[in-house]
Amino acid sequence: MAQKQKVQKVQFVETVLRDANQSLIATRLPYSKFEDILPTMDKAGYYACECWGGATFDVCLRYLHEDPWERLRKIRAKMPNTKLQMLLRGQNVLGYAHYPDDFVKKFVQKAVENGIDIIRIFDALNDTQNMKVAMEATIKAGALASAAISYTTSPVHTLQKYVEMVKELKAMGAATICIKDMAGIMGPKEAYDLVSAIKDAVDLPVDLHTHSTTGLAFMTYLKAVEAGVDIIDTAISPFSGGTSQPATETLAYALRQLGYRVDLDDKCLKDIADYFKPIRDDYVKDGTLMPKSMATDTQCLTYQVPGGMLSNLLSQLKMMNALDRFDEALVETPKVRKDLGYPPLVTPTSQMVGVQAVRNVLDGQRYKTVSKEIKAYCRGEYGRTPAPIDPAVQKQILGDEQPLTGRYADTLEPVFEKTKQELKGIARCDEDVLSYIAFPQLAEKFFQERKEKEENEVTYTIEAM
């Protein structure tokens, strides 16, 4: 008797609260605007809801006058049945600087205590040494480590290299493997080949994360599913497309039609879409959501440079009155990337490479002027590069200075207890101390505002009585 074939199940991570919010409207969605839909989202059947980390933390403090920790606790309370996911930049946590291990550990522990179930951990250079402490802390805190590879293409980023990395991540305790295509450059064939290679190599659920920027995303997800991908990242339709993720409902529809099992509740999805539609329209009206962000941009397929980087190059040249040098800067960009050992072009390396390419062109001499970030990169402070940095370039930039041989974070002094002492009387809890270490000026301002607000409330209550 023929064995009954098991129906392949595809699960969804909903990104509306984090990546879609960040990609389309610069993370400006305040808690009050999505609070009422959380109970419905909790019933939709998502594998997880990505709702914290990335830029959410910074923007809460900087623009929204919200305590990011409190936001997390409130989401947790309204979504008791759905896994909450956050994005964490390895040793950089939520910023671009390297932090000492004690901060990374404490931050992860507190994120989990406040409601996070899954921490997606990545490193811009794919240096697993920069992911190790965060992964260990995640596992210790009882959460799932979704270990991500930052996807890029280069002569050294072979399937074999990615598979080696994935095996290492599995040995480090990864619960799932995420392929993080932050620039939306992955095509359907690349997705099929990479997912197949990873599924062959390790017995772990694989999640694919991409963006609709180039218009490839739907095709890319479909081929990834054919190759056995377990989880895909999508956004509810009003916040989908363009620089965001492809639409949740569309993929659910197409995948079911093709015979895959999708356990999402269509009625919930409709209610969630209806809820977010007028919110999206408000952001279109006030100019926060720009038509450019919703458009399909295929330029980066031609130049092999992420879309955001092209607009950065343009604005840099414009500022220097040198727009006529754009073509030269475009030709120089991949050369700089090669010299630097093919870093994935993702924040912050994309900015660093772009700025250097412009400098090289405008100076008429390569690496005559170098930013302090590029210098730190050449010293090894960002981690191990995918390929060695060109020795001649490294020598030119560092002079007699010797690059680091170990892990940069090992050279950093612990910071948490010291800062906690310094903030006596200002910080009310460990979470406050963590906010302060991550964003000192923003946190200080926030603590002050919080105090004033409470004092006003007290006065108001007394008057009302």
Which chain residues interact with Co ion by CB under 5 A? 19, 182
Closer to Co ion by Cβ: residue 104 or 148: 148
Q: Which is nearer to Co ion, 130 or 210 (CB)?
A: 210
21 vs 154 by CB, closer to Co ion: 21
At closest approach, how far in Å is the CB of 448 from Co ion? 33
* Residue 412 burial (CB count, 10 A): 16
Nearer to Co ion by Cβ, of 295 and 398: the residue is 295
Minimal distance, residue 139 CB to Co ion, in Å: 23
Per-residue tokens: 339: 């010299």
Angle between the N-to-C axes of helices 326-339 and 349-363, in degrees from 0 to 180, rounded to the nearest 10: 120
Comparing C-alpha atoms, which of 189, 245, 187, 217 is closest to residue 46? 245
Alpha-carbon gap, residue 16 to 231, rounded angstroms: 16
State the minimum distance, in angstroms, from the CB of residue 209 to Co ion: 6
What's the CA angle centered on 160, arms 155 and 162, to 5 degrees?
A: 85
Least distance to Co ion, CB of residue 15, Å: 8
Shortest separation between residue 178's beta carbon and Co ion, angstroms: 10
Q: Are 363 and 400 in contact (CB under 8 A)?
A: no
* φ, ψ of residue 236 in degrees (nearest 5): -55, 140
The secondary structure of 64-99 as a DSSP string is: I---HHHHHHHHHHH-TTSEEEEEE-GGGTTSSS--
- CB closer to Co ion out of 57 and 436: 57
Nearer to Co ion, 19 or 101 (CB): 19
Residue with Cβ nearer Co ion (93 or 182): 182
3-state secondary structure of 253: helix
| Distance (Å) of CA 279 to CA 236, 282, 393 | 12, 5, 50
Beta carbon of residue 190, minimum distance to Co ion (angstroms, whole number): 17
**Nearer to Co ion (CB atom), residue 19 or residue 332:** 19
Tell the smallest beta-carbon distance from residue 19 to Co ion (Å): 4
Pairing mode of beta strands 48-53, 83-88: parallel
| 201, 166 Cβ separation under 8 angstroms | yes
Query: Cβ 211 to Co ion, closest distance in Å?
Result: 6
Closest CA to 23 of 262, 343, 307: 307
- For residue 235, what is the DSSP state? B
User: Which DSSP category does 179 fall into?
Assistant: E
